[in-house]
């Protein structure tokens, strides 16, 4: 029993030190780089917003999509079968 407990402690220590910590560091570095890229994009996009124009036809929706996906249409969402 003592031998098994020592083996489990050794395996968990090995996994924590050799797998988890480097994986957390690498994923944290990746998240930081993505955040910096996103901030740079937002700064660039703020300058472009002034040039954009809103047209009345940009957000027109002609199709109700859930009726295409489900034959009963909105009855499914309202709870009536």
Rounded CA-CA distance 49/31 in Å is 26
Q: What pLDDT score does 32 carry? A: 97
Q: What pLDDT score does 24 carry? A: 93
- Between the alpha carbon of residue 17 and those of residues 9, 10, 20, 25, 72, the distances in Å are 12, 11, 6, 12, 55
CB 81 within 8 A of CB 75: yes
Strands (E), 1-81: none
CB 41 within 8 A of CB 33: no
Q: What pLDDT score does 75 carry? A: 56
Mean pLDDT of the region 62-73 = 58
pTM above 0.75, yes or no: no
Rounded CA-CA distance 53/41 in Å is 20
Task: Convert the pLDDT of each residue in 16-61 to its tens digit.
Answer: 888 888 899 999 999 999 999 999 988 877 766 666 677 777 776 6
């Amino acid at each position: 029993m003592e031998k098994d407990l020592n083996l489990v402690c050794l395996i968990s220590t090995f996994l924590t030190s050799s797998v988890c910590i480097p994986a957390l560091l690498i994923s944290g570095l990746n998240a930081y780089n993505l955040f910096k890229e996103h901030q740079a994009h937002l700064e660039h996009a703020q300058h472009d917003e002034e040039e954009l124009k809103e047209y009345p036809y940009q957000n027109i929706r002609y199709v109700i999509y859930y009726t295409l996906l489900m034959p009963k249409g909105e009855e499914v969402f309202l709870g009536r079968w």
